[in-house]
Structure 1
Amino acid sequence: MSDDPSFPAAAAGPIVQLDLREPHRHLVRVTLHITPRSLQPELRLPAWTPGSYLIRDYVRNLEALEVRQGDVPVATVRPAEACWRLELTSLAPLVVGYRLQATELSVRTCHLSADHGFLALAGVVLQVNGERWHPHRLELQLPEGWQAFVPLPSAGGNTWIAADFDRLIDSPIEAGPHPCHRFSVAGAPHRWVTWGADLPADDPAWLADVERVALACCRLMGEPVPASPNYLFVLHLLAEAYGGLEHDHASVLQFGRRALAAPGGRRKLLQLVAHEYLHQWNVRRLRPAELTPIDYDRATIVPGLWFAEGVTSYLDLLLPLAAGVGTEAELLEDLGADLSRYLLTPGRRVQGLRQSAEEAWVKLYRQDASSADSQISYYLKGAVVALVLDLHLRRHGSCLAVVLRALWRSHGAWGRGYRNDDLIAAFAGQAADLAELLPHWLESTDDPDLAGYLADVGLVLVPKPATEPFLGWLLEDAADRAMQLKRVHRNGPAERAQLQPGDELLALDGVRLRRPDDLSLAIGTSTAPLERQLLYCRDGRVRSTGLLPDPPAVASWQLLIDPLLVSEQSGLNRQRWLSLQP
Structure 2
Amino acid sequence: MKISGLSMLSLTSLLTLGIWSHAIAEVRYQIDLSTPQHHMAKVRAVFPKTRAGDFTVNLPVWRTGRYEVLPLADGVRLFEARDATGKLLPWQRTATGEWQVTLAQPTNVTISYQLYANELGKRVRHIDATHAFLDASGVFMYSPEFRQQPLTVALKVPENWNSYSGLTRVAEQQFTAANYDVLVDSPIETGISQQRSFAADGKDYQLVIWGEGNYNPEQIVSDLQKVTAASQTIWDGYPFDNYLFMVHATNGARGATEHINSTVIQTPRFNFRERKDYLRFISTAAHEFIHTWNVKAYRPAGLVPYRYQQENMTPLLWMAEGSTSYFQNQLLLRAGVMTAQEFLEDLAKRIDANQHNPGRGIQSVAASSLNQWTSTGGDYATNNSVNIYAEGYMASLALDFSLLQETHLNASYRDVHKRLYREFRLPKDYSVNDVQLILKQLSGRDYHDWWQQHVDSPMTLDFPSLLAHAGLQLNYGKDSKVEPYLGITLGDGLQLSRVAKDSPAWQAGVGAGDELVAVNGLKVTADGLNKRINDFKAGDTITLTLFSNDTLVTRQVVLGAQPSGKLQLQSLKKVSHNQKAFFKAWLGIDWPFDDKGNFKSLS
RMSD over aligned Cα atoms: 2.3
Unaligned runs of 5+ in 2: 5-20, 591-603
Displacement of 1:159 after TM fit? 1.0
SS at 2:378's partner residue?
Answer: coil
2:71 alignment partner in structure 1: 57
2:546 alignment partner in structure 1: 536
* Residues 1:176 and 1:577: Cα distance change in structure 2 (over 3 Å): same
Q: What residue identity is the alignment partner of 1:184?
A: A
Q: Distance in 2 between matches of 1:326 and 1:210?
A: 12
> What are the equivalent positions in structure 2 for 1:527-566 lying under 5 Å apart?
527-532=538-543, 534-538=544-548, 541-554=550-563, 558-566=567-575
1:462 alignment partner in structure 2: 475
2:131 alignment partner in structure 1: 116
1:490 alignment partner in structure 2: 501
Q: Answer yes or no: is the 8 Å Cα contact 1:220–1:580 preserved in 2.
A: no
Q: Kindly indicate whether residue 583 of structure 2 is the aligned counterpart of residue 578 of structure 1.
A: no
2:594 alignment partner in structure 1: none
- Please identify, of 504-513 and 463-472, the stretch whose mean Cα deviation from structure 2 is larger: 463-472
Displacement of 1:565 after TM fit? 3.7
Q: Distance in 2 between matches of 1:23 and 1:549?
A: 58
Q: Distance in 2 between matches of 1:189 and 1:522?
A: 56
CA deviation string 1:485-522 (max 9, x = no partner): 11122233333443333322222222122333156326
Unaligned runs of 5+ in 1: 3-7
> What are the equivalent positions in structure 2 for 1:95-244 lying under 5 Å apart?
95-197=110-212, 202-223=216-237, 226-244=238-256
Q: Kindly indicate whether residue 348 of structure 2 is the aligned counterpart of residue 336 of structure 1.
A: yes
1:312 alignment partner in structure 2: 324
* Residues 1:571 and 1:525: Cα distance change in structure 2 (over 3 Å): farther
Displacement of 1:388 after TM fit? 1.5
Displacement of 1:468 after TM fit? 4.0
* Residues 1:482 and 1:278: Cα distance change in structure 2 (over 3 Å): closer
CA deviation string 1:168-197 (max 9, x = no partner): 111111111112111112222211011123
1:448 alignment partner in structure 2: 461
Q: Which of the residues 372, 379, 395 maps onto 2:389?
A: 379
SS at 1:291's partner residue?
Answer: coil
SS at 1:87's partner residue?
Answer: strand
Q: Distance in 2 between matches of 1:50 and 1:135?
A: 20
Q: Answer yes or no: is the 8 Å Cα contact 1:37–1:91 preserved in 2.
A: yes
Q: Answer yes or no: is the 8 Å Cα contact 1:35–1:91 preserved in 2.
A: no
SS at 1:228's partner residue?
Answer: coil
Q: What residue identity is the alignment partner of 1:139?
A: A
1:513 alignment partner in structure 2: 524
Q: Which of the residues 358, 369, 394 maps onto 2:404?
A: 394
Q: What residue identity is the alignment partner of 2:391?
A: K
- Hey, which bits of structure 1, 4+ residues long, moved more than 6 A? none
Q: Distance in 1 between matches of 2:422 and 2:274?
A: 40
1:80 alignment partner in structure 2: 95
Displacement of 1:128 after TM fit? 1.1
2:30 alignment partner in structure 1: 17
1:5 alignment partner in structure 2: none
> What are the equivalent positions in structure 2 for 1:220-369 lying under 5 Å apart?
220-223=234-237, 226-363=238-375, 366-369=376-379
Q: Answer yes or no: is the 8 Å Cα contact 1:455–1:565 preserved in 2.
A: no
Displacement of 1:204 after TM fit? 2.4
Q: Answer yes or no: is the 8 Å Cα contact 2:305–2:427 preserved in 1.
A: no
SS at 1:271's partner residue?
Answer: helix
* Residues 1:94 and 1:543: Cα distance change in structure 2 (over 3 Å): same
Q: Answer yes or no: is the 8 Å Cα contact 2:196–2:206 preserved in 1.
A: yes
> What are the equivalent positions in structure 2 for 1:89-100 lying under 5 Å apart?
89-100=104-115
Displacement of 1:120 after TM fit? 1.4
Q: Distance in 2 between matches of 1:268 and 1:101?
A: 31
- Please identify, of 10-19 and 369-378, the stretch whose mean Cα deviation from structure 2 is larger: 10-19
Q: Distance in 1 between matches of 2:481 and 2:71?
A: 43
CA deviation string 1:37-96 (max 9, x = no partner): 122211111111122111113112111111122342111022222211111122233221
> What are the equivalent positions in structure 2 for 1:22-61 lying under 5 Å apart?
22-39=35-52, 40-61=54-75
Aligned identity (percent) is 27
Q: Distance in 2 between matches of 1:48 and 1:191?
A: 27
Displacement of 1:229 after TM fit? 1.0
Q: Distance in 1 between matches of 2:530 and 2:546?
A: 13
Q: What residue identity is the alignment partner of 1:342?
A: N
* Residues 1:11 and 1:258: Cα distance change in structure 2 (over 3 Å): farther
Q: Answer yes or no: is the 8 Å Cα contact 2:51–2:107 preserved in 1.
A: no
Q: Answer yes or no: is the 8 Å Cα contact 1:370–1:488 preserved in 2.
A: no
SS at 2:275's partner residue?
Answer: coil
Q: What residue identity is the alignment partner of 1:315?
A: F
Q: Distance in 2 between matches of 1:514 and 1:142?
A: 52
* Residues 1:162 and 1:447: Cα distance change in structure 2 (over 3 Å): same
Q: What residue identity is the alignment partner of 1:574?
A: F
Displacement of 1:463 after TM fit? 4.7
- Please identify, of 459-468 and 170-179, the stretch whose mean Cα deviation from structure 2 is larger: 459-468
CA deviation string 1:253-299 (max 9, x = no partner): 11234443333222222211111111111111111122221110100
* Residues 1:197 and 1:10: Cα distance change in structure 2 (over 3 Å): farther
Q: Answer yes or no: is the 8 Å Cα contact 1:513–1:519 preserved in 2.
A: no
SS at 2:489's partner residue?
Answer: strand
Q: Distance in 2 between matches of 1:47 and 1:515?
A: 40
Displacement of 1:107 after TM fit? 4.9
Q: TM-score, normalised by structure 1?
A: 0.91
CA deviation string 1:108-131 (max 9, x = no partner): 321111222111110111111310
* Residues 1:9 and 1:573: Cα distance change in structure 2 (over 3 Å): farther
Q: Answer yes or no: is the 8 Å Cα contact 1:68–1:74 preserved in 2.
A: yes
SS at 1:41's partner residue?
Answer: strand
Report how many residues are paired. Answer: 563
Q: Answer yes or no: is the 8 Å Cα contact 2:476–2:568 preserved in 1.
A: no
Q: Distance in 1 between matches of 2:82 and 2:24?
A: 22
Displacement of 1:545 after TM fit? 0.9
Q: What residue identity is the alignment partner of 2:61?
A: A
2:535 alignment partner in structure 1: 524
* Residues 1:319 and 1:556: Cα distance change in structure 2 (over 3 Å): farther
- Please identify, of 354-363 and 191-200, the stretch whose mean Cα deviation from structure 2 is larger: 191-200
Q: Answer yes or no: is the 8 Å Cα contact 1:18–1:29 preserved in 2.
A: yes
Q: TM-score, normalised by structure 2?
A: 0.88
Q: Distance in 2 between matches of 1:510 and 1:198?
A: 48
Q: Answer yes or no: is the 8 Å Cα contact 2:303–2:313 preserved in 1.
A: no
SS at 2:244's partner residue?
Answer: strand
SS at 1:426's partner residue?
Answer: helix
Displacement of 1:387 after TM fit? 1.2
